[in-house]
Amino acid sequence: MISDLRIGGLTPLTTIDYPEHLSCVIYCQGCAWQCRYCHNPEMIPVKAEQAISNSELEQFLLKRQGLLDAVVFSGGEPLLQKNLVAAIQNVKSMGFKVGLHTGGSSTSRLEQVLKYVDWVGFDVKDLPQYADALIQVKGAGHANWGSLKALLKSGVNYQCRTTVHWDLISPGRVLQLAQQLSQAGVTHYNLQIARTGNTLDPALIDDSSTYSMVPKGVRLKLCEEIKPMFEQFQWIE
């Protein structure tokens, strides 16, 4: 039985949160990081009203057996959930594959969870020396890259992705980041433009997408330079 999981939301059906799988997404409430461009700041507080109860979630999943391929634990940051492993085991016992969306805020915690998941969507925030300023937590960059190393070592299927807000990162630094990831052994990588309708940092809120801040020609050239570095690469605007 799923119990003591703090649930901030649920997407009942998605085709994009676990590649090539029909899945639902459980949004775990609470995050240890304060990423400036975070577009779900309401998910950051650890203590918040539950969107649905654990029993309601379990009933939902029981009704989706044979209909969904996978269940994705997202956030917030799922690694903060003390009963995450137990919840994953229960979901797998129902016949679902399990995906995990994480920034790897705790490398030791991620190493424990990797034993039970089938796929990971991993958020690489920035180059290690710049990540603390973006995340607004001391030592976060070290944790982010330490967790990436643990993920690559585990052999679990994954996709790395970086959220780009052009107020916070330059095209040149995006290229350096991609180069460092490629050298680290990353083979599957996505770049995605930040959603700016609702951000943790009010200074970054904008009704329009930030992709237009950098000329199209610059973006296309950057994409052409990055694509050969990876087996799979996608630029999402």
What's the pLDDT tens digit per position in 52-91? 899 999 999 999 999 999 999 999 999 999 999 999 999 9
In single-letter form, the type of residue at position 103 comes to G
Residue 89 token pair: 């085991």
pLDDT at 93 over 60: yes
At 95-149, the pLDDT tens digits run 999 999 999 999 999 999 999 999 999 999 999 999 999 999 999 999 999 999 9
Which of 167, 159, 213, 207 shows the shortest CA–CA distance to 186?
A: 159
Residues 6+ apart with CB under 8 A from 212: none
Q: Which of 88, 108, 106, 84 is nearest to 96 (CA)?
A: 88
> Rounded mean pLDDT of the chain?
94
Position 210 scores a pLDDT of 55
Please, which residues have CB within 8 angstroms of residue 4's CB and are 6 or more apart in sequence?
54, 82, 83
pTM for this entry = 0.95
| Ordered DSSP codes for 116-143 | T-SEEEEE--S-HHHHHHHHTSTTHHHH
End-to-end C-alpha distance for the chain, whole angstroms: 39
Is-contact 29 46, C-beta < 8 A? yes
Residue-level pLDDT at 207: 58
Q: What is the mean pLDDT of residues 31-49?
A: 92
Q: What six digits make up the tokens of 157?
A: 């299927």
Q: What local confidence, expressed as pLDDT, does residue 48 receive?
A: 79
What is the CA angle 50-53-54, rounded to 5? 120
Residue 171, number of CB atoms within 10 A of its CB:
16
Please state, in angstroms and rounded to a whole number, the distance separating the CA atoms of residues 135 and 122. 15
> CA geometry: angle at 133 spanning 168 and 138, to 5°?
160
Query: How do residues 9-18 score in pLDDT, each as one tens digit?
Result: 999 999 999 9
3-state helix, strand, coil in the chain (%, to 5): 40, 20, 40
* Whether the predicted pLDDT of 212 surpasses 60: no
* pLDDT tops 90 at residue 1: no
Are the C-beta atoms of residues 159 and 189 closer than 8 Å to each other? yes
Task: Please tell me the predicted confidence (pLDDT) of residue 4.
Answer: 87
Question: Amino acid identity of 56?
Answer: E
CATH number of 7-236: 3.20.20.70
